[in-house]
Structure 1
Amino acid sequence: MEETNLEQKYNKWIWILSIVIPLAVAGLFLVKIPNVEPLTFLPPIYATINGLTAVVLVAAVMMIRKGNRSAHEKLMKVAIALSCCFLLMYIAYHITSESTKFGGEGVVKYIYLFILLTHIVLSIAVIPLVLITYVKALSLRFDKHKKIAKITFPIWLYVAVTGVVVYLMISPYYA
């Protein structure tokens, strides 16, 4: 009974964050802080954080498959913290710097756009999935946690990996 109350308590926050974060990120492309030095050093850092997130996610799955719940829990907290760090740096970069346009042509441009579009769409979808999955574990509802984690993990991993790929593809075009 208490577990259900815990889930109900967090459900409101899950949906608020799942709406506010994507809207804030979309809005940041319209907002630039005037008279501030562009934080152009951030993209390789937050791309590295995406890569680390992918590694940590895979390690966390390996730990739970080995039955090491404690290590899994710690690694998942690290993955969430890394994702939060990524988000803060991504926002900081985009409110201080102009967006970079991809300069490639032909098939490479279409591949880039496909990867970018799927990355963006799934990065929005993964927010509630991660939060719901985490709350299921907090609520000790491991049967439900495991069921949704099987959906969340591949999407989160895809977002983390494609974040690195998008950076590598666009990095030659940074000013």
Structure 2
Amino acid sequence: MSKEVSENNKKYTVWIWILSIAIPLVVSVLFSVKIPGVERLGFLPPIYASINALTAILLVVALFQIKKGNRKTHERIMRTCILLSVLFLGMYVAYHMTSESTSYGGEGVMRYMYFGILISHILLSIVVIPFVLVTYVRAITGNFKMHKKIARITFPLWLYVAVSGVIVYLMISPYY
């Protein structure tokens, strides 16, 4: 590995660490911030749930594209998935900065299922951040062998987070 490539990898690694720590911290801090005088953005949950659904679909399409050898199409779709995830996060935070959290009203087994899915969704949405970033960096730096290796872990994690986000929305939507 050349010195220049090594320096670039170090820079990317620093940014991956910063973003992987900063994003969950900033989101958790912003959850406690309420913007006074701003109307509740209650129209956002179905939009960001749809963004999660679209992300899940595109992740699967991207997988099929790379398996067919369509690297450029795969790359475009994956960049779109990252953009959609950033858009989701912005809307999610905006909603929670203008609205009180909605309590789940289901009972019994459904309540346990809801919280099981919600907790796993939240935890894995934090865990997946560095995986997505490392996978992306390995692709853009041309390290396709290592990209493929970590993508085998990143893909199911990211797909689970996207799909479980939709499920959580569908389960809590009657209580908005």
Tell me if TM exceeds 0.5: yes
Give the corresponding residue for 2:76: 74
- The residue correspondences of 1:155-166 to structure 2 (distance < 5 A) are 155-166=157-168
Give the corresponding residue for 1:137: 139
**2:128–2:154: 8 Å Cα contact kept in structure 1?**
yes
Give the corresponding residue for 2:7: 5
Q: Which runs of 5+ in 1 are unaligned?
A: none
Give the corresponding residue for 1:29: 31
CA distance in 1 between counterparts of 2:43 and 2:109 reads 29
- The residue correspondences of 1:45-64 to structure 2 (distance < 5 A) are 45-64=47-66
- The residue correspondences of 1:147-162 to structure 2 (distance < 5 A) are 147-162=149-164
- The residue correspondences of 1:101-140 to structure 2 (distance < 5 A) are 101-140=103-142
Q: Percent identity?
A: 64
Instruction: Give 1:28 deviation, angstroms.
Output: 2.0
TM-score (norm 1): 0.97
The one of 17, 20, 24 aligned to 2:19: 17
CA distance in 2 between counterparts of 1:46 and 1:88 reads 9
Instruction: Give 1:25 deviation, angstroms.
Output: 1.3
CA distance in 1 between counterparts of 2:105 and 2:28 reads 22
Q: Which runs of 5+ in 2 are unaligned?
A: none
Per mean C-alpha deviation after superposition, the further-off stretch among 116-125 and 3-12 is: 3-12
CA distance in 1 between counterparts of 2:10 and 2:70 reads 28
Amino acid at match of 2:16: I
Q: Secondary structure at the match of 2:33?
A: coil
Q: Does 1:42 find its partner at 2:44?
A: yes
Amino acid at match of 1:119: H
TM-score (norm 2): 0.97
**1:38–1:97: 8 Å Cα contact kept in structure 2?**
yes
CA distance in 1 between counterparts of 2:135 and 2:5 reads 14
CA distance in 2 between counterparts of 1:5 and 1:61 reads 30
Question: Which contiguous aligned blocks of 4+ residues in structure 1 show a shift greater than 3 angstroms?
Answer: none
Amino acid at match of 1:102: Y
**1:3–1:141: 8 Å Cα contact kept in structure 2?**
no
Q: Secondary structure at the match of 2:37?
A: coil
CA distance in 1 between counterparts of 2:118 and 2:156 reads 17
